[in-house]
Amino acid sequence: MVAVTSSGTHALHLQVARAIKLARKRYGTMRKFAADLRAAMGWPTLSVAAVYAWEAGSTRIPAVALLAASHLADVSLDDLMRAAAEGVEELAAPAPRGADQLADKLLILEERVDQLESRLPP
């Protein structure tokens, strides 16, 4: 068993707080993040103030909240915790999602080209 000092526990607590903040900043607004985080955890309530308190490191963060935050931010828990440990201020935006999303965008562009071409004189 590994002994953890109180300073080590405090440092880990602050790293988790930074990880929550990084996930929220990548996800979007605080209100949306708190609402979607609450739903992802299956909790009946979760206030914006509670999430701010987590980010500030003033209250303990449940493990389920950290896991749900990494899922919402579309970043692995390892990458999220590593970025928090390294003092990263903001995570890069998530990559576009798969071929289906690209195919949908291509279809929209093709429709717009067709509309524009129909306006050209013969």
Mean pLDDT of residues grouped by 10 in the chain (122 residues)? 66 95 94 96 96 95 96 95 94 70 80 84 78
What pTM does this model have? 0.72
The CATH fold of domain 6-92: 434 Repressor (Amino-terminal Domain) (1.10.260)
* Residue showing tokens 């890069």: 92
CA distances in angstroms from 55 to 60, 68, 102, 107, listed in the order given? 10, 15, 35, 41
Domain ranges of the chain: 6-92
pLDDT for residue 100: 66
